[in-house]
Amino acid sequence: MKHAFITGITGQDGSYLTEFLLEKDYKVHGLIRRSSSPNTSRISHLLDDPRWKERLFLHEGDLGDSSNLLRIVEEASPDEIYNLAAMSHVKVSFQVPEYTGNIGALGTIRLLEIIRAQFPKARFYQASTSELFGKVFETPQTELTPFHPRSPYGVAKLYAYWACINYREAYDLYACNGILFNHESPRRGETFVPRKISLAVSRIKMGLQEELVLGNLDAKRDWGYARDFIEGMWLMLQQPKADDYLLATGKTTSVRRFVELAFQYIGIEIEWQGKGIDEVGIDRKSGKTLVRVSTEFFRPAEVDILLGNASKAKSMLGWIPQTSVENLVQIMVEADLKKCKSTAST
């Protein structure tokens, strides 16, 4: 039986990856931060499932503290390590740049040092990101496109990206970067734009919210479904040789279009009026304003467009994403509507 160690097990990707690995017969160890209130909502269904009692273990610790990390990795004795922990919100990283670097950049080195010294045969996955491309040099982006990060988050991830390659080259570790484009799900944090939209649209439908207030409507992202991306992470660690791979859907969509699709799903057609921060999205039928813009959600530096070419992952790993952005919107709004209905009835 293989042992996996996951940092960031309580996050969106950590929860799907844990499900995936348990189904593949792994023993899964996860790093969990001490919190004054429960932070296991995304994995509580797994913790409560008697099938996984002997195969799922949580260890309290922090990627900022190498003393406890060493003990925990020794307890997990992993064959595979997935480093998913990070302060992952790009806008927030401008407010907490030092902390973002400590966890995203130095946290990765802390783990790599433990692997180098104690578990040189373990396989390592680093959660790299399309934010590395930032102010893009070319579209679509590939594994060969130069980087130009645009936030403290992106800069921290750049350090981690090169740390991963450096340890592979210097110490012959099996260490891979997964350069993942935006991937979403009903488990996505509520302040990332797709989830903010799906939740607001559901609450507006249920009469629980009046308006949705957003930042830059023109930003474009290559949005995929988180479940599709998890298998790609795992596949990267099953190859004869370590390498770096980009995972993306190959289609880009603006925030504005994502909003239109989400409202369409509840039967509302959005008409845009005005310009800049005075732009509003109106329900074409009732004339009611449902979407507004606020500078509160603008970033000091923006990533205007991301669009990935995942040909390498397709040909080398056989990885092909299954979910279109239209399906993704449907999955997310449906789940949030269900959630809002059950909250309203309790």
Catalytic site positions: 129, 131, 153
Q: Does 8 bind ligand NAP (CB under 6 A)?
A: yes
Judge contact between 231 and 267, C-beta under 8 A.
no
> According to CB under 6 A, which residues from 75 to 114 bind ligand NAP?
84-88, 103
Q: Does 193 bind ligand GDD (CB under 6 A)?
A: yes
Q: Does 252 bind ligand NAP (CB under 6 A)?
A: no
For 10, the 3-state DSSP assignment is coil
x/- mask, ligand NAP, residues 129-158, rule CB under 6 A, reads: x-----------------------------
Q: Does 189 bind ligand NAP (CB under 6 A)?
A: yes
Q: Does 11 bind ligand GDD (CB under 6 A)?
A: no
Amino acid identity for residue 330 in this structure:
Q
Q: Does 219 bind ligand GDD (CB under 6 A)?
A: yes
Contacts of 252 (CB under 8 A, 6+ apart): 220, 221, 222, 305, 306, 307
Rounded Cα distance between 218 and 238, Å, is 38
Amino acid identity for residue 240 in this structure:
P
Least CB distance to ligand NAP at residue 263 (A)? 23
Rounded Cα distance between 206 and 203, Å, is 5
Task: Using the minimum distance from each CB to ligand GDD, give the nearer residue, 27 or 196.
Answer: 196
Task: Using the minimum distance from each CB to ligand NAP, give the nearer residue, 110 or 205.
Answer: 110
DSSP 296: G
For 27, the 3-state DSSP assignment is strand
Among 15, 141, 145, 182, the residue binding ligand GDD under the rule CB under 6 A is 182
Of 2-10, 290-298, 310-318, 326-334: span binding ligand NAP (CB under 6 A): 2-10
Contacts with ligand NAP by CB under 6 A: the residue count is 26
> Residue 222 is encoded by which pair of tokens?
């290559």
Beta strands at 253-254 and 289-293: parallel, antiparallel or unpaired: unpaired
**Residue closest to ligand NAP, measured at CB:** 11
Establish whether the linkage from the previous residue to 321 is cis, with ω within 30° of 0. no
Distance of CA 239 to the CA centre of its chain: 23
Q: For binding to ligand NAP (CB under 6 A), which residues are involved?
A: 7-8, 10-14, 31, 33, 35, 39, 62-64, 84-88, 103, 127, 129, 180, 182-183, 189
